[in-house]
Amino acid sequence: MVSKQERRNKIKARIRGKISGTAQRPRMSVFRSNKQIYVQLVDDLEGKTLASASSKGIEEGNKTEIAAKVGKAIAEKALAAGLTEVVFDRNGYLFHGRVKSLADAAREGGLKF
């Protein structure tokens, strides 16, 4: 039987085989833990993180609302860095709940995927 982690790793490898970030259109990578959510804008050609945001320090609201605040924060940082388009990397997680909330808030903040 395949564990949840093995299943997510297979999905993650399949996704990462198809997408890659550049300096003009970085990869927006999401990591979701049980308590926090993190997002990075990554230039895969250079191997550098261009911007990042996390839920550390945000305590008001439930996990989905906090993820939306992180999405807005990364959109503000990306626009300040002159980035408007990103490639969304859900990192093997299903696109619902916190991941969807973060993505929708980033879109509302001005990012285009």
Q: In this predicted structure, what is the pLDDT of residue 49? A: 95
What does each of the 113 residues of the chain score in pLDDT, given as a tens digit? 889 999 999 999 999 999 999 999 999 999 999 999 999 999 999 999 999 999 999 989 999 999 999 999 999 999 999 999 999 999 999 999 999 999 999 999 999 99
Determine contact, residues 108/62, Cβ cutoff 8 Å. Answer: no
Per-residue pLDDT, 21: 92
Q: In the prediction, which pLDDT does 104 show?
A: 97
DSSP code, position 33: -
Q: What is the pLDDT of residue 64?
A: 96
d(C-alpha 103, C-alpha 68), whole Å = 8
Q: How far is CA 80 from the centre of its chain?
A: 17
Tell which residue, 107, 110, 102, 26, has the closest CA to residue 58: 102
Domains of the chain: 4-108 (3.30.420.100)
Please give the single-letter amino acid code of residue 52.
S
